[in-house]
Amino acid sequence: MLKLLSNLKESFWSIVLIVILLCIQATADLALPDYTSRIVNVGIQAGGIENAVPEVISKENMDLIVMLSENDEKITDNYTLLGSNLDKKQEKKVDKYLGKDYEVQADTIYVLNDIEKEEIAELSKILATPLMEMTTIKNEETANKIKEQMLANMPNAQKMYIQNMSLTEILKTMPEEQRTQVLKQFSEQINNMQDSIKEQAAISSVKQVYTELGVDTEKLQNDYILLSGVEMLGVALVIMVSAVSIMLLSSRVAGRLGKTLREKVFSKVLKFSNEELNEFSTASLITRSTNDIQQIQQMITMLFRVVVYAPIIGIGGFVKVLTNSDSSMAWIIGVAILGILFVVGTLFIIAMPKFKKLQELTDKLNLVSREILTGLPVIRAFNKEKREEARFEKANKDLMKTNMFVNRAMSMMMPTLMFIMNSMMLLVIWVGGQGVDQGLLQVGDMMAFIQYMMQIVMAFLMISMTSIMLPRATVSANRINEVLEKEPSIKDKEETKKFDPNRKGLVEFKNVSFRYPDAETEILEDINFAAEPGKTTAIIGSTGSGKSTVVNLLPRFYDVTGGELLIDGVNVKDVPQKDLRDIIGFVPQKGILFSGTIESNIKYSNKNMSDENMINAAQIAQATEFIEAKENKYKDAIAQGGTNVSGGQKQRLSIARAIAKDPEIFVFDDSFSALDFKTDAILREELSKKTKDKTVIIVAQRISTILNADQIIVLEDGKVVGIGTHEELMKNNENYREIALSQLSEEELTANFQKENEDGKEE
């Protein structure tokens, strides 16, 4: 997999941008639960007041707070008593809380100075207790109870003096030690509270301070909720834009990787010799170039979100849980993650072996489908439709069973994981609800914890989904690597030679032997002959004697395993394959045409070829008769594989393609077999005019095709058993004589041979 990912270097900057966008999205996602917590805790429960530090406070209340606090200097140092002239910052603060029309009277209101968040947090802790004590003594019911306790132990004269005074006034007249003693009961209760609950109660006191001062607390609350909501919408917009951009870029990167891999696989396959093509099979190579690369593309699209996004969300969520919310429920997330890992691990062990099997069965189905479709005429001719249907059904059913097994296993994963996630959510609500009921946890904190837990669990769900996709993608990656890393058995040397211009067209077989890879016996053994320019060399022999193998060695479809094959005086292994094939016009045994037009097929060697050259080649190949009869002539369409033309027409177009190339060496591998005798004779006659100074090598089954050859090579079981002209071989070679007499009578052979000679003399 890592080797294939190295191809992503073309998309380096896109990947960098994706990573940046993923970090932005993850940061924004992790910010949302905090906003939820703030809206519930601060906006709804605390009326939009964020901490126990009043921004504005009356002088009366400030004096009372200072009186009740042991840190009076720290409090007063952070506040400024407003005079008759206000600076811009003070005006802004007064406008925010008291309104623009409020007239500030000198020495009546304190405003908070501009201080850092850390200082505000420290001041909030200092102010919490005196604020709550102030609220307590201002409460009429509580104040009366305290006064009753105080009056019960006082002389009547003193009772009469303080009876009509408020509790606040009484406390102000008391010495500090006595005042502390009176409020000791309430101070102890406040100090025993949880910090979060104490701060929440202190915030209620701040709200009372604001109300007494005339602040519109309802507007303050609405403004806070509205501002937080707008900020949340902004964060959500950032998430949406990032997510859309990431998906677009990921699809682009994955698409480009798929394109690169297909190009590399196709380029590699073009360099393969017949040995490698037989090793992989055509069906498998098609599957690897399509289905396997598609698996990689799908994996890459998901990979970025998992490799970058999921860890940020998972780790970031844990950090947020431990720092921003109550960490006492963190164990619930641990239980959820362990449950997810157990489910995914189990499914991974069960399904992993099936993924490789899945791709192999896809190969097999493609192979069977291809064989049936290409062999349809034979299947129909032998009435074997039922047999082939059964063969296809077996391959299809095997793939279906494996696919269903994998899909069933995978389909169990999501419901199970969702069950774990919902169970954990219920557990959070149950445990968190108890905390809220006991005053140990705020509702907003519990809601934020639920969101963080969902984010963390979803991150692990994403990793789990990818871990399921990864095995199949890994199998596909290995299959693609097999192709890319396969070294062609036939390749050019680092130092190559050039053809000898003085020996142009000369083909020499010197003690050539050949065996197929992994074969135990030689297919060809000790082949010795030379084909000279201006002459026709024919190769004949019984079926399986090695005729086609001999000519397949010329363009290096296979390499000789012994001896030397020389062309233009140079060993074919010492020249570049492109240069070698440029001088050979090869017509295979089975005519192969490409989808396009008649023109594009004849001009296949050079699309810029002149029309005159194309028409001339078609005339020599005796193809003009059927071409001219077509509606669009040379522009007439050719279907894939040439299925819309007959076998003879296909062969003639293949021959025309080779003639149009005008090579040094013509190789015809039984290329006249589909032609009738008349067309065969005329074509060879016209061809001889074109190839006067060319080397012509013909593999033939029909004896009439090679009667006039300058040299006939007779093969039997991969060995040369005779070399000579038709006349010489008829006299001296029993193998050739048997082949000749099996096709024509001796009188016909003599008559045909004389006619061929007479035609040659007339030329």
How many Å apart are CA 626 and CA 641, to the nearest integer?
18
Whether residue 45 is predicted with pLDDT greater than 90 in this model: the reply is no
> Can you give the pLDDT at residue 240?
93
Q: For residues 253 and 8, is the Cβ–Cβ distance under 8 A?
A: yes
Q: What percent of the chain has pLDDT over 70?
A: 89
pLDDT tens profile 406-447 = 777 777 777 887 888 788 888 888 887 777 776 667 777 777
Among the ranges given (424-428, 747-751, 753-757), the one the predictor scored with the smallest mean pLDDT = 753-757
Q: CA quadruple 628, 634, 635, 639: dihedral positive or negative?
A: positive
Quote the pLDDT of residue 763.
46
Q: How far is CA 224 from the centre of its chain?
A: 44
Asked if the domains at 505-583+663-762 and 591-662 fall in one CATH topology, the answer is yes
Least confident of 185-189, 393-397, 430-434, 564-568: 185-189
667 three-class SS: strand
Rounded to 5°, angle at Cα 612 from 608 and 615: 105
Name the DSSP letter for residue 507: E
Tokens representing 213 are 């001062």
Which listed CATH number (1.10.3720.10, 3.40.50.20, 3.20.20.140, 1.20.1560.10) goes with 265-485? 1.20.1560.10
- The mean pLDDT of 484-497, rounded to a whole number, is 82
What mean pLDDT value characterizes the chain?
81
Q: How far is CA 720 from CA 459, 512, 523, 529, 708, in A?
A: 72, 11, 12, 9, 20
The pLDDT tens digits of the residues spanning 148-194 come to: 766 666 666 666 666 667 667 777 776 777 666 766 666 666 666 66
CB 476 within 8 A of CB 484: no
User: What integer pLDDT is reported at residue 233 of this predicted model?
Assistant: 93
Please give the pLDDT value at position 194: 65
Q: What is the pLDDT of residue 237?
A: 94
> Residue range 9-29: average pLDDT?
86
For the domain 505-583+663-762, what is the CATH code? 3.40.50.300
- Roughly how many angstroms between the first and final C-alpha of the chain, as a whole number? 66
Fold adopted by 591-662: Rossmann fold (3.40.50)
Instruction: Give residue 569's identity as a one-letter amino acid code.
Output: G
Q: From CA 9, how far away is CA 427, in angstroms rounded?
A: 46
309-351 pLDDT, tens per residue? 877 887 877 777 777 655 567 778 778 778 877 887 777 777 7
Distance CA 529, CA 721 (A): 12
With beta carbons less than 8 A apart as the criterion, state whether 574 and 567 touch.
no
The CA distance from 558 to 168, in Å, is 109
HEC string for 653-679: HHHHHHHHHCCCEEEEECCCCCCCHHH
Say yes or no to pLDDT of 360 above 90.
no
DSSP classification of residue 45: I
Question: Can you give the length of the chain in residues?
Answer: 763
**In the prediction, which pLDDT does 238 show?**
93
Q: What is the pLDDT of residue 152?
A: 67
Exposure string (b/e) for 132-163, b if CB count within 10 Å is 16 or more? bbbbbbbeeeebeebbeebeeeeeeeeeeebe
| Per-residue pLDDT at 273 exceeds 90 | no
Nearest Cα to 327, choosing from 448, 506, 421, 434? 448
Contact (CB, 8 A) for 377 and 643: no
The DSSP result for 571-627, as a single string, is EGGGS-HHHHHHTEEEE-SS----SEEHHHHHTTT-TT--HHHHHHHHHHTT-HHHH
> Whole-angstrom Cα distance, residue 172 to residue 168?
6
Q: Is the predicted pLDDT of residue 535 greater than 50, yes or no?
A: yes
- Give which of 312, 307, 243 is closest to 455, Cα–Cα: 312
Rounded Cα gap, residues 490 and 31, in angstroms: 61
Are the C-beta atoms of 15 and 304 separated by less than 8 Å?
yes
Residue 761 has pLDDT above 50, yes or no: no
Dihedrals phi, psi of 714, to nearest 5 degrees = -105, 125
Arithmetic mean of pLDDT, 266-290: 81
DSSP state of 220: H
Q: Are strands 695-699 and 536-541 parallel, antiparallel or unpaired?
A: parallel
Distance CA 407, CA 81 (A): 73
DSSP 98: H
Tell me the Ramachandran region of residue 590: left when phi exceeds 0, alpha when psi lies from -120 to 50, beta otherwise: beta
Which H/E stretch holds residue 563? strand 562-567
Helix axes 310-324, 330-374, angle to 10 degrees: 170
Average pLDDT over residues 91-97: 86
Find out whether 365 and 372 touch, Cβ atoms under 8 Å. Answer: no
Which residues neighbour 616 within 8 Å (Cβ) at sequence distance 6 or greater? 660
Domain boundaries, the chain: 51-221, 265-485, 505-583+663-762, 591-662
pLDDT tens-digit map of 182-241: 666 666 666 666 666 777 788 888 888 888 888 888 888 898 899 989 999 999 999 999
pLDDT greater at residue 172 or residue 499: 499
* In contact, 418 and 275? CB cutoff 8 Å: no
- Report the distance separating Cα 312 and Cα 26, nearest Å: 6
Residue 751 token pair: 């008559």
Instruction: Please state, in angstroms and as integers, the Cα–Cα distance from residue 82 to each residue in 56, 244, 660, following that order.
Output: 10, 52, 103
